[in-house]
Amino acid sequence: MIVAPELASSAAGVPDARPTPAALSRLSAHRRPPLALVVAAIVAASAAAIPLVYLVVRSVESGLPTIVETLARPRVLEYAANSLGLAAATTASALVLGTAVAFVLTRVRVPFARTWLLISALPLAVPSYLAGYGWLVAQPGLNGFLPSWLLLTAVTVPYVSLPVAAALRGASGDLEGVARTLGRGPLRAFIVATWPSVRPAAIAGSLLVALYALSDFGLVAMMRFQTLTWGINAAYSASFDRAQAATLALLLVVLALVVVTGERAARRQLPRAAARAIAPRTVGRVTLLSFLPIVAAAPLVGVAIPMLGLLTRLLEAETLRAIDAPRLLGAVGSTVGVALAAAALAVLLALPIAALAARHRGRLVTAIESVGYLGHALPGIVVGLSLVFFALAVVPVLYQSIAVLVFAYAVLFMPKAIGTMRAGLGDVPPRLIAVARTLGDSPLRAWWRVTVPLALPSIGIGALLVAIATMKELPATLLLRPTGVQTLATELWNRTVVFEFGAAAPYAALLVLVAAVPAVILSGVRSAAKEEL
């Protein structure tokens, strides 16, 4: 979704007669994928399917009547409608805003463009529950759909703006110029000429936004908007009714599959585009100022205001305790440690799935890729419990070890890497691989010498997205961490549950700060990724 995704998309098979890289890759799409790759992808997908297996087991054990009774509750329909509505609205607004931000930052000569790009990446570093809490401090009456929608949009915009910005830099400005000279307005020209070439990146980013919105619990709980995750949580907390929670979670899975299928359909009809970048244009000061709200909205709503809210709590609190530095540092250490490990494992699991999806098609590929996305659509507690179930059944020795915790993160967040890497791998011109093969390289060696170096930036981006998400994760961490191990998120939770918002503030600030590091790198990698090709 990052580098020049329009090429990747053609691998998905657009009718196209010209002898282009796309056509070449289409040829390979018709070939049977290598068996080893299929096996590796199935293994990775099986890992991602563990939560699904668990949900089916737990749901079925209650019997069909109970399942029907649960699903027939009037409230459940409302939960589902709320979840879908929120996901749809958030995706639409993040798509529009993210594209606009990317457009301004790449097409207009903005002072401190680099800094702005970095700032626009920052909302990624703020956990949704923290954004919700910070806003409630400032505006206690907030509740319901509207604030949930606006805040979720603010924290998810970078999923769209960063990849689209990268795609725009490689997109064809000349066509847009032609459209302009033919009398189209700027917006029309953009839609007609440029949008098609950034659409794959925007759609891949939108998928992440949609799945995030479906699975989010922290923010909707804060804003009292009753989605399916709210219902799932209530089932656990009031009745310890795992069967009922599992049934609701399966409903969430169905919604997620609808979303993933929709993304595949939208991705399928992909036009290609020439890759000639155009230079940012200089605009007048007034125009520039009118762009400011577009670029500043998400960082302001998603980062600045919540952080300010937390800061006021820090200063108000009468019981502000002395900061326990060793404990704080310990939490930073374990947070960074598990995040790095999770990023590595998630990339490893996502790699075969992405490689398969980049060059091959068919029902099996579709199924494998869809399953790969599941973890991202489920609330952390569901994935956490499913891995408790799985670890105790299969590797009891590793239960409550770092290994299982890291594995859970990989299952949860591997989807963040799949889309990026699929695009990156798909972009590698098959011609180059063919050349390597004619020079006598084995397939594996050709892959290692050609594909890996060219796809590396997109792999890095996937890893960074996983690392950021891991740092912020809470419910699965609470269930699966080794007893006694604390991350910044669990320490933050420890303090907020007992109203010590003052004591929680340093942990909150540090969490955002630590998660901002990969976010900042991310805004840099993307430009590097572009220069790579």
Partner 1 sequence: MRTTAPLSFLSLVTAGLLLAGCAAPAPTESEPAPDSTADGAFTLYSGRDEALIQPLIDLFEEQTGITVDVRYGNTAELGALLLEEGDRTPADVFLSQDAGALGALSDAGLFAPLPDDIAGAVPAGFTSTDGTWVGVTGRARVVVYDGERFTADELPDTIDDYVTDEWNGRLGVAPGNASFQSFVTALRVLEGEDAAAEWVNSLAANGPQLFENNRAILAAANEGVLDAGLINHYYWFASAAEVGVDNMRAQLKFLTAGDAGSMVNVTGAGLLTSAADDADALEFVRFLVSLEAQTYFVEQTYEYPLLPGVDAPAGLPSLDGLVNPELDLSDLDDLAATQRLLADAGLI
CB nearer partner 1, residue 107 or residue 242: 242
| Options 119-127, 148-156, 479-487, 522-530: segment touching partner 1 (CB under 8 A) | 479-487
Residues 6+ positions from 497 with CB-CB distance below 8 Å = none
Site for partner 1 in 126-155 (CB under 8 A): 136, 140-141
User: Which C-beta is closer to partner 1: that of 56 or that of 304?
Assistant: 56
Contact stretch for partner 1 (CB under 8 A) within 97-105, 186-194, 230-238, 342-350:
230-238
Q: How far is the CB of 491 from partner 1 (least distance, A)?
A: 9
Q: Hey, which residues between 61 and 90 contact partner 1 (CB under 8 A)? A: 73-75
**Which stretch, 12-20, 239-247, 294-302, 457-465, contacts partner 1 (CB under 8 A)?**
239-247
Contact residue for partner 1 among 396, 438, 440, 531 (CB under 8 A): 396
Tokens encoding 423 = 């695009």
Q: Is 181 in the site for partner 1 (CB under 8 A)?
A: no
Number of helices and strands in the chain (H, E): 27, 0
- The set of residues, in sequence order, having a beta carbon less than 8 Å from that of 175 and lying 6+ positions away, is 193, 194, 273, 274
Among residues 8, 404, 455, 479, which is the contact residue for partner 1, using CB under 8 A?
Answer: 479
Q: Around 251, how many Cα atoms within 13 Å sit in the side-chain half-sphere?
A: 25
Query: Counting contacts by CB under 8 A, is residue 103 touching partner 1?
Result: no
* 207 contributes a contact to partner 1 by CB under 8 A: no
Contact 410, 50 (CB under 8 A): no
**Assigned token pair, 148:** 């949930």
Applying the rule CB under 8 A, the residues between 429 and 458 that interact with partner 1 are none
By CB under 8 A, tell whether 494 contacts partner 1: yes
Determine contact, residues 420/2, Cβ cutoff 8 Å.
yes
Whole-angstrom CA distances from 90 to 67, 104, 176 are 30, 21, 28
Distance of CA 294 to the CA centre of its chain: 22
Does 507 engage in binding with partner 1 (CB under 8 A)?
Answer: no
Q: What tokens were used for 3?
A: 């580098």
Stretch that binds partner 1, among 112-120, 170-178, 340-348, 389-397 (CB under 8 A): 389-397
Is residue 393 within the footprint of partner 1 (CB under 8 A)? yes
Q: Which of 285, 315, 325, 483 binds partner 1 (CB under 8 A)?
A: 483
Residues facing residue 108 across a β-bridge: 281
Does residue 322 belong to the site contacting partner 1 (CB under 8 A)?
no
Q: Pick the closer one to partner 1 by CB: 182 or 392.
A: 392
The CB-side HSE value for 102 (13 A sphere, CA atoms) comes to 33
CB 493 within 8 A of CB 478: yes
Contact positions with partner 1 (CB under 8 A) in 328-367: 363-364, 366-367
Positions 4 through 43 that interact with partner 1 (CB under 8 A):
42
**Closer residue to partner 1 in complex, CB, 190/390:** 390
The secondary structure of 218-284 as a DSSP string is: HHHHHTT---HHHHHHHIIIII--HHHHHHHHHHHHHHHHHHHHHHHHHHHS---------PPBP--
389 binds partner 1 (CB under 8 A): yes
Nearest approach in angstroms of CB 162 to partner 1 is 28
Residue 368, interface with partner 1 (CB under 8 A)?
yes
By CB under 8 A, name the one of 103, 129, 390, 413 that touches partner 1: 390
Rounded to the nearest whole angstrom, what is the least distance from the CB of residue 153 to partner 1 in the complex? 21
Buried b (16+ CB within 10 A) or exposed e, 349-388: bbbbbbbbbbbbbeeebeebbbbbbbbbbbbbbbbbbbbb
User: Cβ closer to partner 1: 73 or 431?
Assistant: 73
Residue 507's Cβ-count burial label (10 Å; 0-12, 13-18, 19+) is buried
> Is residue 381 involved in binding partner 1 (CB under 8 A)?
yes
Which lies closer to partner 1 via its Cβ, residue 48 or residue 347?
A: 48
Q: Which residues contact 213 (CB under 8 A, 6 or more apart)?
A: 86, 87, 90, 91, 152, 156
With binding defined as CB under 8 A, does residue 237 bind partner 1?
Answer: yes
| Size of site (CB under 8 A) for partner 1 | 72
| Residue indicated by tokens 């599941």 | 374
Span from 94-102, 313-321, 335-343, 514-522 in contact with partner 1 (CB under 8 A) = 313-321
> Least Å distance between CB 400 and partner 1?
6
By the rule CB under 8 A, 318 interacts with partner 1: yes
